[in-house]
Structure 1
Amino acid sequence: MSTDDAALSHARALLERYPVADGHNDLPWALREQVGYDLDRRDIATDQSGNLHTDLDRLRAGGVGAQFWSVYVRPSLGGDSAVSATLEQIDCVRSLLARYPKDLRAAHTAEEVEAARADGAIASLMGAEGGHSIACSLATLRALHRLGVRYLTLTHNDNVPWADSATDQPAAGGLTPFGEEVVREMNRLGMLVDLSHTSADTMRDALRVSRSPVLFSHSSARGVCDHPRNIPDDVLAALPANGGVAMATFVPDFVFSELGEWNRAAREHMSERGLHHRDTTPEAKAAWEEFVAAHPPPRATVATVADHLDHMRELAGADHIGLGGDFDGVSSTTEGLDDVSGYPRLIAELLDRGWSESDLAKLTWSNAVRVVRDAEGVAAELSRIEQPSLATIAELDGTPGCARSPSGSSQAVGDGPT
């Protein structure tokens, strides 16, 4: 057996004991976009069309034991439309659980996550991706929690009226007073504060305000790849004091600097021809393929992601890192991490780099479960002494409504969930 084969066998054996608890998968959005939630047309037990990164066989092959399913909706919906679409996404997750009860099991607590694992099922939690999903309403936040949503990403690619996004022009300077109240109410509920997609100032404000461990469901290290979607070094270094977990993502644009340079050149190529890089017309596709043929794109690899994890472990410590692949929320993937079956390759790479089994067990499973349990503990204490917040954005921020904050950042990463 070669060294590579030995490391891969070791990785798979380790994942049998400590499976992956992944922070972010956009399968529900992919099902919405591709087949309008018609699960007969995209059966993840049998579909091999290549249209998805996720199916049951590949989840098993990847050693996935728990998954946060994202119930993302586009920020452009806004208001009540965003709330309704979020409910539709939740309904999709519930439909998946009902259709595949032997494979997927609803989990709302750390105890239920562990019980699902013990029974050989994939524990299924939900996370709402973007504060627009609550339409500036703490009652809506509470309703989502009652429906099983266990984290809220404070922003997506655009600002919300009470928090700044990483990929929008700063408006609030981090969290507004109402944004701080959202964090406090999430702590009282036991809903994890997810800081992926947020600006660095929003991250710092949330760490200052939160009485519960925070989560980065799918973000890597800005010290390795200087992308605004990644976590600055000072925030990683502050994470142990909070008890939170930063879950490295595999999105090529966020982990590989050279790809960012290639993308800029590709967009210039399209712009010079009067086309947008996201156009899907035959003319645009031909122009894009022309550029790709002449300039093959560099590819991020498993080693690229491992570089981020090395850096994150060094700054935050082994107790505060995890994995959040962002599968089915991206149009391109990292080589070797092309779908949810790829996790053993990453673990094998880390084994080759000398990571201990203890640290790997924390990375794949223990840290994610611990942060859910810790949030429950904080909520149990706070709920005894605090009542549900009745605060409104009008009261705290002096804002009469919940119109989306102006945007226009040149750093936007597109309209998809990424």
Structure 2
Amino acid sequence: MTTIETAEASAIPEPSPRARALHEASLVWDAHMDSLMRVLAGEDLGVRTEGQADLVRWREGGVDVQVFAVWVDTVYGRHHAARRALQQIDGFHRLLEANPDRVGLARSAADIARLRGEGKLAAVLAIEGGIAIQNDLALLRTFHRLGATSMTLTHSASLDWADSSTDAARCGGLSAFGREVIREMHRLRMLVDVSHVSDDCIRAVLDLSDAPIIASHSSCKAISNHPRNLSDAMLRTIAAAGGVVGINFYSQFLDQAYNDEMGRRSVDLLAMLNAPPPLDPDALDAYADERIRTFWSLRLPRPPFERILEHIDHAVQVAGIDHVGIGSDLDSGAVPTPVGLDSVSDYPRITEGLLRRGYAEADVAKVLGENFLRVYRAAVG
């Protein structure tokens, strides 16, 4: 952290007794985190680590529900994606088995209430990127049987059945098979997650949906004009269907200046990320891990903490207080975040910031977790 950033962090008010009491009393739900990548790397999340989350700091941050993403890099393609997903699902269950007194699998709203009552972290499993199902509904059903209760349809690249927001369209939103995926997810009572997908894909999903959907980790395009963020029109569209948007804490999605500078500096980085993957399947894991390290290697001055609150404010103003939550996107590496938000331990600062902006305590509780719980109960059970 630079001297300027250290000074900015020290100027952020520490949570007041009122904020800490509200945070402790509220259900705190983080709708997206990539900690399973660290489990695959052999880290023990049962102890305090150098990452952005672990069981020690989830407790310090007052987190009651953590959604663990099973992220599959598009370099794995249709023939190796399921293996990568299963590696992470195995890591997820090993984490639970090693810490049964502190964390448990949640597959329903009732599970979440039970685990919270037991003082445990409710761990929700989510597939990030429909590439993991390898165009096979049997794999979707298998992931569901293993505990997954939601799926983000794409990641950064379009599939042949769903379009991404950061790639060329391939099927006008959803293909015929893509519509089968959505119908099967509804039958299984899996929550459909539209972070990463194109606007046309969101509209196509909603045309098929009789349950609310989520954008688990997306921010506001009106503040930072990144294609991964949601336009005001899409915020309203998701809200009108009863859904929730989780604000992402990655600096490029929060801050326009950071986004612009990343664009100027990342030509060589993008060339590496877009290079053809190795043909040898045994080399894919090391190649994918190196892509992650390279992606997070580009460091810029961090934006102020207030950017998080500004995105929450904007989403609330556009979509309504019942349709906004938190989806941090932390922990897939040293994710660059605003000053003052270094790990999940800092989440009480969000409660303090919202109170200082004049939010009623009941509305703060909605943003912290009640909104996601409502949608999860409606879509999953």
Provide the TM-score with structure 2 as the length reference. Answer: 0.86
Q: Is contact 1:7-1:351 (8 Å) kept?
A: no
Unaligned 5+ runs, structure 2 = 1-10, 276-286, 288-292
Q: Is contact 1:226-1:257 (8 Å) kept?
A: yes
For 1:250 and 1:8, the matched residues in 2 are separated by 22
Q: Secondary structure at the match of 2:228?
A: coil
Q: Say what the alpha-carbon RMSD is for the aligned residues.
A: 2.5
Counterpart residue identity of residue 303, structure 2 = A
Change (3 A) 1:118 1:354: same
CA positional deviation for 1:254 = 0.7
Change (3 A) 1:13 1:79: same
Q: Match for residue 29 of structure 1?
A: 37
Q: Secondary structure at the match of 1:170?
A: coil
Count of residue pairs the alignment pairs up? 351
2:165 matches 1:159: no
Q: Is contact 2:159-2:170 (8 Å) kept?
A: no
Q: 1:148-188 deviations in whole A, cap 9, x for unaligned?
A: 10111000011111010011111212111211221111111
2:27 matches 1:19: yes
Q: Secondary structure at the match of 1:198?
A: coil
For 2:195 and 2:366, the matched residues in 1 are separated by 20
Counterpart residue identity of residue 44, structure 1 = L
Q: Is contact 1:184-1:211 (8 Å) kept?
A: no
Q: Match for residue 348 of structure 1?
A: 352
Q: Match for residue 76 of structure 1?
A: 75
For 2:266 and 2:90, the matched residues in 1 are separated by 37
Change (3 A) 1:276 1:148: closer
Q: Secondary structure at the match of 2:76?
A: coil
CA positional deviation for 1:364 = 1.1
Q: Match for residue 340 of structure 2?
A: 336
CA positional deviation for 1:256 = 0.6
- Range moving further from structure 2, 194-203 or 231-240: 231-240
Q: Match for residue 318 of structure 2?
A: 315
Q: Match for residue 395 of structure 1?
A: none
Counterpart residue identity of residue 33, structure 2 = N
Q: Secondary structure at the match of 2:350?
A: helix
CA positional deviation for 1:121 = 0.5
Change (3 A) 1:140 1:278: closer
Q: Match for residue 47 of structure 2?
A: 46
2:308 matches 1:305: yes
2:380 matches 1:376: yes
- Range moving further from structure 2, 221-230 or 331-340: 331-340
Q: 1:44-72 deviations in whole A, cap 9, x for unaligned?
A: 23344x2x111122111111000110111
Alignment of 1:234-245 (within 5 A): 234-245=233-244
For 2:79 and 2:16, the matched residues in 1 are separated by 48
Q: Match for residue 370 of structure 2?
A: 366
Provide the TM-score with structure 1 as the length reference. Answer: 0.79
For 1:213 and 1:343, the matched residues in 2 are separated by 26
For 1:240 and 1:55, the matched residues in 2 are separated by 32
Q: Secondary structure at the match of 2:64?
A: strand
Q: Match for residue 280 of structure 2?
A: none
Counterpart residue identity of residue 354, structure 1 = G
For 1:72 and 1:206, the matched residues in 2 are separated by 21
Q: 1:74-125 deviations in whole A, cap 9, x for unaligned?
A: 1111224111211111110100001111111111001101111111101001
CA positional deviation for 1:298 = 3.5
Q: Match for residue 93 of structure 1?
A: 92
CA positional deviation for 1:14 = 1.2
For 1:173 and 1:349, the matched residues in 2 are separated by 40
Q: Is contact 1:249-1:325 (8 Å) kept?
A: yes
For 1:276 and 1:169, the matched residues in 2 are separated by 19
Q: Secondary structure at the match of 1:227?
A: coil
CA positional deviation for 1:239 = 2.2
Change (3 A) 1:5 1:232: closer
Counterpart residue identity of residue 344, structure 1 = P
For 1:55 and 1:308, the matched residues in 2 are separated by 26
CA positional deviation for 1:302 = 2.1
* Structure with greater Cα Rg: 1
Change (3 A) 1:237 1:183: same
Q: Match for residue 145 of structure 2?
A: 146
2:62 matches 1:63: yes
CA positional deviation for 1:278 = 11
Q: Match for residue 250 of structure 1?
A: 249
Q: Is contact 1:24-1:217 (8 Å) kept?
A: yes
Counterpart residue identity of residue 327, structure 2 = G
For 1:97 and 1:334, the matched residues in 2 are separated by 30
Q: Is contact 2:115-2:121 (8 Å) kept?
A: yes
Alignment of 1:121-140 (within 5 A): 121-140=120-139
Q: Is contact 1:240-1:320 (8 Å) kept?
A: yes
Q: Secondary structure at the match of 1:212?
A: coil
For 1:159 and 1:177, the matched residues in 2 are separated by 15
For 1:66 and 1:95, the matched residues in 2 are separated by 18
For 2:147 and 2:62, the matched residues in 1 are separated by 24
CA positional deviation for 1:10 = 2.3
Unaligned 5+ runs, structure 1 = 378-418
Q: Secondary structure at the match of 1:64?
A: coil
